[in-house]
Structure formats: structure tokens, C-alpha cells
Chain A
Amino acid sequence: MRRPGCDDWRHTQHALERQGGRTVAIPREALDGLAEFERQGGLSRRNVLAGGVGLVLGVAGAGRLTTRGVLEAAVAEAADNPNGTILVSIYLDGGNDGLNTLVPLAEPRYRELRGRIGIAPETTLALPDAPQFGWHPSLGGLKELYDAGKVAVLPSIDYANPDQSHFTSNGYWRTGIVGDSNERTGWLGRTLDAIGSRSNPLQGISVSYGLDPILNSAKVPVAAVYDPSNFDFWIPDVWDSKAFLPSYRRIAQAAAKHGALGDVRRVYGDAIEARDLLQPLAKEKEPPPPPVAYPEDGLGEPLRNLGRMLGAGFGTRIAALSSGGYDTHEGQPDAHAKLLQNLGDSLKAWQADLDARQLSDRVLTLVWSEFGRRPEDNDSQGTDHGAGGLLLLVGNRANGGIRSEFPGLGQLDDDENLRVTTDFRSVYATILEDWIGVEAARILPNGPRGKLPLVRAA
């Protein structure tokens, strides 16, 4: 059976699909002053609700928390705050061709390098404030958002000495750590470890069947839910899940002597908890139609599903989804046009949906890919792996415009790739501090953390 993508892409797929979720066995990174606090059971939604802030501070006092610890406890409480900010990560899987997404009209070499699959300048869609670029003609939906000032665009984003293996680059982007590491947690999973609750698996949602490794956490529960109407447990010829769920729940809550059984029981509890929380959506016969129809394929369905979950107010802070097919080694023009059409239309429907749900001031959507593609196209009407990809940050509070330097095509790097001007970790640092409200150094152990002007004040 022929599967899409190059060998390296398939290899990476398999690798990613097989990562665990809540990686309980990893030694818990000491949370500085929070250690004592955690020994007392940590902060859960239940005890916050039961005791309120007074309880948090009371425990904090008893546990001799550092100031930062108190702040973090407050942030953790905000994790259950119905008005908390939300980050949605959309991964364009395979390495999106940034140069044919945002076409550098002012670059004379573009026509020469893209002699076979270049986008004709007259077909591109104009950026009012950046005439040196034009959007791919299929990106009408994205153009509307950009023109409304809701899209920050960073061309040529990557890391120094970029690696062109899907597996390596992807791992760096997902863990937020560049270079050799055995890190199994994702940067967004660690973010929830820092700010999340011990009891709400829907605080981090991977809109997929297996957990997106970007959400791998060490301590707090997260969930993989593709379709909230369909996240349930059933046993053949058992008429009602009420027959078995109470027993499963009881067993999941039992104490265990050893970590292994305790971990298993806890994750069973998380899964059943997620199922219980999702019941109102599962029972919804016909969800109200979104204001702008989502595309039926690609990102349309998962975003529509996520919109329903965010609308239900589960205290979600982070969600992750992905869209495949961007590894366009061959036959790129048609394939890429379809993908971008889907991306632009999906984002347009997504923003309209968030508007209608009065969520659009609280949601930022990060669109990223593991690398860009080689400026010179290949003999198969496609492009090979390159460096310097394109990143988008979309939302009412995104600081719209071109927000990083484009290096031009006049001088390429030693591998004939776009030169990298901006490290992706500075985008992560900005999001963590200016959007989520957590110190970047806590989540990103190495690399540049300088911030960029990407988020507008509320």
C-alpha cells in the first residue's frame, strides 16, 4: 500500500503516533516551592471550588511557598477560570511551502527558482500594508482575516542550523527544545503542568484519536477527543453504559500500592471523567449550525468539533490539531492549492464561529509547520525539504501584519535554503508570557526567549 509523503515523513508519523499521553513515569520536575503544596494533594478544581482562594493561600502559607509559587497557584486557579485565555495549535504536517503561501513578489529570483511551480504574481491576493508579498490565490479566507488585522505573519521562522529531517525538526518544535534531548513532554503539555489543574482532563484537548505529543504532560491530565459526540465507552450487546461505568469508576478510584496500578487507575479515571464532561455534547441531537460553514474535509471538521467543546466551557486552555499532506515532493501545484484553500476557509469559519460564541477575544490560533521548503523546485513538480518556514498567529488580539524579517532570496544558506531570521522559541516565549501568563523560562529550558510584538493588549 502506498502511503503519502516521503519515507522520512512516514517514519516520523509512526514515531509520533506512538507516543504515550500523560507520561506519568517521568520523574516529576520539582516545582520549586510548590513541592510541599503538591504533597498535600496539589490544586485541583474540586478543592478550589470547595475552598476558594482562601484555601489556596492557606495551603500556600502552610507549605512555605515562594512568592512565585503563590503566583503560580493563582495562575493554576485561573486555569479553571471560565474567562482564561486559550491557545489553539494547528500543525501543518509535512513542511508547508512558505514561499508559495506568501509569495515574495519583490524577489527577482523567485521566478527563476520557481520556474516550474511558481505562482503567477498577477494571481496572488494583495496585502494592503505589504505590497512586497502576495497570498496564494487559494487563500481568500485568510486574506479577509489578514485585512481585518487579525493575522500576524512570520516568514522564515525556524532555528539556527536547521535540520531537514521531519522527525528531528518536528520533535524540536513539539518539545520546544532544540538539540539532543530525551524529553517526552511537549511544550504545551509542560505549560499545563505549570498552570493546569490535577482534575480536569479537558483543560488540554488534542482534537485527534491519539494524543498529539505537543500535549504530552508529566503531571496533569489531558485528553484526546476528536469528536465530542462520539467519545464514549460501549460494550457489545450491553444496552446502556450505566450498566458498567459505575463499576469501572469505582475500580478507577481505588487506591493502589504501587505506582503502576495507581497510574493505570488514574488514567482510566481521566478518560471516564472526560467522557462524563462531554455527555451534554454527546446528547446534543443537532448542534446549531456555525455562522460560516466549515469546509467538510481537512481542518473543517476538527475545528468545528473544537468550537463546540470551547463553547461548552470545560475550562480548556490549550488545544492541538493537525492537518496532513504538506510534504509536497511531487505534484505540488494542485495539492498545495487544495490544502491552502482548506486552511484559509477553515480559519475564516473558525473565527466567525468564535465570534458567534463570544470567544474570539479569548482565543489565539497558532499555525506552524516543521520547516519550509527548498526555494528551488524539483523535477517532479514539487519541492524538497528546506528551512525557514511560515508561521501565523490568528485572533482578535493577534498583532496583525508582517512581524518578522524576510531574508530575501538573493542570498541563501549553505544548503541553498532560505536563511532563518527568527527562532520559533521566541514566538513560544511571547505566547507563554503575553498570552498564557506563565514565565517562559519555566517551560523552555534552553534557547532564545526574546519576545516579539505579536499579542495586542486586551
Chain B
Amino acid sequence: MRRTAEQARIERLLWRGGFGPRPKDRQRLRSHAAALDHLFAPGKGPSLVGPEPTTKDGGRLDPFNEYGHDSVWWLDRSVRARDQLRERMTLNWHDHWACSNSKVNDPRLMFAYYKVLREHSLGNFRDLARAMVRSNAMQIFLDLVGSTDESPNENFAREFFELFTLGAGNGYTERDIRESARALTGFTYDYDSKSFGFDQKRHDGGVKRILGAQGRFDALDVVDRALANKHHAPYLCEKLWGYLSPRPIPPRLLKRTVDAYRSSKFELKPVIRLMLSDPALYAGIDEPDMVKSPVVYVAGMLRQTGAGVRTTDWAWMLDGMGQVPFYPPNVSGWPSNSEWLSTGAVQARFSAANRMIEKTIEDGSISSKQSADEALADAIRFAGRPWTSRRTEKTLHGYARASVAGRNEDYEVKHYWPERQRVLRHILLAGPDAQVC
């Protein structure tokens, strides 16, 4: 499936800044500039586009009560969101500010957390960080609730510096963690009434010394102390780049994005825009160079084929591949790139494509006049014109010719012509080439 350099750039942009192209996107977004504008200004219209998600029986999702429905709900947003960049960044922030329902154990709190991530995903990082301090799900996940002046819990403070704002060992000390933990005391949670609050009496109102300044700091001051640190902007910009590209960020791009971030007082949009426009994102454009995460892979496949979410089996299938929304493995988030791969994950990714092709072609539905080229063209159309390497293309051509050769009996035509189509579609959707973007 040959494409022009411009098409390849558009494609990469839509995979990195969203969940891959829908067939219509290819017709609509003719230039890279147009595609970039579209990501940042998706225009008016319903926020979700496409068929509503259902269970296998056609029922509605029940994310607050049914096992796995919460994760499938998230998957569906990724598939249908008109504002793809916002939705993709929400998933990235879920990885950055990792928080798991396996500890929080209350889908309602997790949904509130999702909403906050999404609201700020292209906004201002300071607002996002302040909102995370106050997120009830996060407060449970990192033991902020129940942390008192008498025994401050350092969990949140430690991760706040190490993972959320500065990077491991980057410009802060154990003392900064201890003092920040004091500033973060006082949040309360009553398990029986499920009510959250703040108790001034359990807050340590004393003077603290955090990252080189002294004062009667409270929880939100900790955010500002961290953001004022010189290590923050480079750390965050580099981490954001890691969501968009597997290659190291070029020093000049790091400098430009850090400058933009600082001069705008922590605005995220300019940073993301610079990164998505930079030539470095399009290095090695003739071959995709990033392993799709399971959510990107599945959402992308549903978008490419135009199918909606029609089963909650996706929850355990995503589990088999290693990424379930609302359940990151721990506070440092999910693996990335090639870390996703194992023989078990390969089996899971292989099986996932079965859901896309099952019952799409009945035996007896394809004429023996269909040529190998026509068969391949049909499969490519079905799979949403995915990238394939020359070698893969050759293999597919060879298969399309050989698989039906000499099979001329009626019963053979009836089965093997459709079987050829099933296999071609499967390789296009689940083969190694389909795992990278």
C-alpha cells in the first residue's frame, strides 16, 4: 500500500495525536497542515461520532456496576471522540498521573478523575496538578486521605516529585519530600459515608522548607514549589515527547518547548503543537517506529474498520495484551513501546483481530472470478488501508494467488475464496506491521 510522503506524515500525526485515521479522514484531510489544524480545532458537532457501545446482547454499558464495563467505556471514548487529540492526551495523562481502581475501588471516583484529566488535558499543567491534588481517587490511591500532622504519609509527596513534576532524584531531596508531606496533611475520608473533606486540625500549619523556600505551605503551595523548580519544564516536556515519539527529543526542540511552556505559564497546547509540527516527529517516515499500546491498537482497529464497540469482551482482551484503562499496573504507569511485547501479548493481539473479521464474510459469498488483486484490494479497504512493508505486501500477494490455486470444485470455491479474504483481512489487522505506528 504505497503512499506519498505527505500521506505518511498525515498518518503518523493521526496515530500519535489520536487513535489513528478513519477511512473518511483520508479523504477529508488532504494535507499535513490541514490534519494538524483539524486535531487542534475539530470543529462543531457531537462530541462522540459513531455507533453507541453495546454489550454482546445489544444492551447498554453499566460502567459503575458491571465488571469490565468501565474500561470498555474508556475504550469507546477513544474510538468515537471527535476531539481525538484531547482524548489521546487524556490517556497519556492517565499514564502520567497513574491511578488505579484496583485500590480506589469506586468507579464513580475514577470517572470523576477521568473527567478532570480530560478537562485539562490540553489546558494548563498547573491547573491539572492542582486538580490532581484534590482528586478523590488520587487522594485514596496515594494515601493522601488519612495523612495527618501527627503521622504524615509521604506517598503522594514522593511520587509528586519523582513521577509527576521533576523526575527521579531531579533537584529535590528526602527532606523536601518529608516537608511536602507535612504541607499535604489534613485531607480526610470517611469510609462509611464516603465523604471527603479537609480537617484544619489534622493539617500541619507549621513552617516548612520546600525546594529552597520557607513558609507555612499548604497542599497547593507544594504544586507551585515544584513547578517553579528549574528541573520541572525539561522533565515534563521530555516526558510528553515520549508519548509522541520513541526517539530522543532533539535538544533544540526541548529548548523551544521549554521556552514556550515557561513563557505561557504552563500552557500545554503550545508545547504539544510544537512537538506535533516538528520534523523530528517524522523521522524515518518510510517505516512506522513506535509499538502501539493495546488501547491504541484496539481503538485504532475499531476506527480503521468503522466498527463500534459491540462487546465487553474487550475488557479481558485488553487485559491479555496488558493495558486496561482505569487499572494501570502501578503509580509509574504502563510500559511503553517494545515493553508491551511477549508471546502471550502476541496471542492476545492476534485473537483481537478475530473479533473484527468473524461473521463478516459468509461461505459462498465470493465468486471464483475474483482475482488475487481484487481480493487483496477488498481486504485493504476493509482494514482501512493500513501501512504494510514491501515485504509484507509481497507475502500477501503471494498468498492471495497461491491460496486458491487449483481449488476449482464447487465446495472449494464456496469455502476457500472467502477463507482467503478472512486471512488477508486478519494479517492486515493483526500482523506485525499492524502493531506499529
- Interface positions of A (Cβ within 8 A of B): 1, 7-8, 10-11, 13-26, 167, 182, 184, 201, 206, 209-211, 221-225, 231, 233-239, 243-244, 246-248, 250-252, 254-261, 263-265, 267-268, 270-271, 274
Contacts and interface: CB of A to CB of B under 8 A. Distances in A.
Interface stretch (B118-126, B211-219, B418-426): B418-426
A224 B423 CA distance: 25
A224 B427 contact: no
B350 A209 contact: no
A274 B350 CA distance: 15
A209 B344 contact: yes
Given A210-B322, A251-B431, A256-B287, A24 B341 contact: yes
28 contacts: A7-B102, A11-B330, A13-B102, A14-B102, A15-B329, A18-B329, A19-B329, A20-B335, A20-B339, A23-B339, A210-B342, A211-B342, A222-B342, A225-B343, A238-B426, A243-B403, A247-B395, A247-B396, A248-B431, A251-B433, A254-B391, A255-B391, A256-B389, A258-B284, A258-B287, A260-B291, A263-B341, A264-B436
The 9 A-B residue pairs with the shortest CB-CB distance in the complex, in nearest-first order: A21-B342, A224-B344, A15-B329, A25-B338, A24-B338, A18-B329, A263-B338, A258-B289, A254-B391
Contacts of B288: 258, 260-261
Given A238-B423, A252-B432, A233 B350 contact: yes
Nearest to A210: B344
Contacts of B396: 247
Nearest to B390: A254
A167 B336 CA distance: 20
Contacts of B319: 17-18
Nearest to A266: B341
Contact of B289 (A209, A238, A261, A271): A261
Contacts of A14: 100, 102, 324, 327, 329
Interface in B307-343: 319-320, 322-324, 327-330, 332, 334-343
A259 B361 CA distance: 35
A270 B290 CA distance: 20
A255 B396 CA distance: 16
B415 A20 contact: no
B336 A244 contact: no
Contacts, number: 196
A49 to B, nearest CB: 22
Contacts of A255: 391
A24 B341 CA distance: 8
Contacts of A239: 415, 419
B122 to A, nearest CB: 26
A264 B291 contact: yes
B321 to A, nearest CB: 9
Contacts of A225: 343
Given A209-B344, A247-B423, A261 B436 contact: yes
B29 interface: no
B427 A271 contact: no
A274 B343 contact: yes
Interface in B403-437: 403, 415, 418-419, 422-423, 426-427, 431-433, 435-436
Nearest to B400: A247
A141 B278 CA distance: 66
A235 B426 contact: yes
A372 B284 CA distance: 52
Contact of B419 (A201, A238, A259): A238
Nearest to A215: B342
Nearest to A256: B287
A247 B403 CA distance: 11
Contact of B395 (A251, A268, A274): A251
A209 B320 contact: yes
A260 B343 contact: no
Contacts of B102: 7, 10-11, 13-14
B131 interface: no
Contacts of A182: 332
Contacts of B436: 260-261, 264
B287 A236 contact: no
Contacts of B359: 236
A248 B423 CA distance: 10
A11 B105 CA distance: 10
A250 B423 CA distance: 14
A20 B345 contact: yes
B422 A237 contact: yes
A297 to B, nearest CB: 21
B322 A270 contact: no
Contacts of B284: 257-258
Contacts of A237: 358, 361, 363, 418-419, 422
A390 B380 CA distance: 57
A246 B319 CA distance: 28
B346 interface: yes
A20 B419 contact: no
Contacts of B432: 251-252, 261, 264-265, 268
